[in-house]
Structure 1
């Protein structure tokens, strides 16, 4: 374990100026050791300066000293694919976010939660996704699909997987492919569709399920990217499907229960902002609404009539959605106010 870095220790400030680029609201340093985490090594130099140094802190109106920070709020993608994004540009350092250029409805919750609603979405709407039949609300490009499946683990492996969510992800992928074919799109292009899960084992199972599916195996899906949130950091896709993986509400009553990766606000921020035109999230709402970020996301989709649900899985038939035992039902919208 090493000590936290400072400008003085690096020698960067010897007759020069330093510029730091990054977004402390997204993924930070990967720290495995809990001891290192407790001693602050999970906090980047940029984030520490913004948190602890008065020069870089916002005033009462959430403004910054323009001598040190300039905040770029336009959120869009150029015609040539260059990423132009939220940035803090500082004479001493730069706070830069690789935020993708998203539809306003996709950007709203992360924008409100992490950026004080200051981002200005500038994405051009895509005609390809305006009439997707799978949307609970026509023209609203965000879906939360409630699934109460079963989180499972292999012996000796801490990572989780959830077969019910995998089935739903496959169903949505098939619906998207059908929609593409109706629009005379023969195969999925690079950067078109991505599938995210916080858990590596869920990623592996999704990949295996797609490859072994008789219908999907006939399609050209080599450009469909499947990976963890970390793999998708800095990337953007027209469509994102996300499987949260966690379930089992009864675990909430255990004193040492933790939502793990799902509770990580930075991973939530990255995952929710990878899509440009269509975002589909699959998860167990009974569990997710216990965490602030997910509560905001799920509640906003209920209020926007963009919530769908699948009947609950049974242990004996996790794949068969028609044989599930009961329906996931959310409280009225005011529950999320």
Structure 2
């Protein structure tokens, strides 16, 4: 599960940033309350009951309006053609992807989320800028070994995805204004 990836990622960040994550505000966010609860249980079982001093685990909606230096976003989409649920909501996508001040890590199965054009643009951009890190996963979180995170390159968000989100938002606003004028 993605929860079994989020914990080793957090641990790797804590080790490789030489305490940055302990000095910085770290958040693990997800669109789903059930996943947030599962993440809390996983973090608590490994880090102890006071894990919340090191990392905040919450839903995207609950984290709206706040920021963290480091954000780990657990998308929670498995393989299949059932769609991507809350992830297709552009507003939630915007909130989730803009909470990080310095570092954003998205845990997702790329093949599942690229069914949405906005996520496809983001994944394409991440691949082009060497921001996709394939993680071999055996099903047990402690077996996950992340590559050297220091080798990742800083990248700006893709302008195309941002422009697409802005255009869609403006179109909806225009649509709403048109409906208000008809009354």
TM over 0.5, yes or no? yes
* Contact 1:194–1:239 (8 Å) recurs in 2: yes
Q: Distance in 2 between matches of 1:200 and 1:247?
A: 17
1:269 aligns with 2:94: yes
Match of 2:162 in 1: none
Match of 1:300 in 2: 125
Match of 1:203 in 2: 36
* Contact 1:188–1:221 (8 Å) recurs in 2: no
Instruction: Give 1:179 shift.
Output: 3.1
Q: For residues 71-119 of structure 1, give each alpha carbon's deviation from its aligned partner in whole angstroms, at most 9, with x where no partner exists.
A: xxxxxxxxxxxxxxxxxxxxxxxxxxxxxxxxxxxxxxxxxxxxxxxxx
Q: CA 1:169 to 1:238, structure 2 compared with 1: closer, same or farther past 3 Å?
A: same
Q: Distance in 1 between matches of 2:141 and 2:41?
A: 18
Q: For residues 178-234 of structure 1, give each alpha carbon's deviation from its aligned partner in whole angstroms, at most 9, with x where no partner exists.
A: 135x35x69345xx1111111111111111001101xx3398642521111101110
Match of 1:187 in 2: 22
1:232 aligns with 2:69: no
5+ long unaligned stretches in structure 2 = 145-183
TM-score (structure 1 length as normaliser)? 0.39
Match of 1:259 in 2: 84
Q: CA 1:271 to 1:186, structure 2 compared with 1: closer, same or farther past 3 Å?
A: closer
5+ long unaligned stretches in structure 1 = 1-162, 324-337
Instruction: Give 1:312 shift.
Output: 5.5
Q: Distance in 2 between matches of 1:178 and 1:219?
A: 18
Match of 2:114 in 1: 289
Q: CA 1:230 to 1:175, structure 2 compared with 1: closer, same or farther past 3 Å?
A: same
* Contact 1:289–1:295 (8 Å) recurs in 2: yes
Question: 1 or 2 for the larger relative contact order (CA 8 Å, sep ≥6)?
Answer: 2
* Contact 1:310–1:321 (8 Å) recurs in 2: no
* Contact 2:66–2:99 (8 Å) recurs in 1: yes
Q: How many residues align?
A: 144
SS at match of 2:107: strand
* Structure with larger Rg: 1
Match of 1:174 in 2: 11
TM-score (structure 2 length as normaliser)? 0.70
* Contact 1:311–1:321 (8 Å) recurs in 2: no
SS at match of 1:279: strand
Alignment of 1:6-155 (within 5 A): none
Structure 1 vs Structure 2 CA RMSD: 2.4
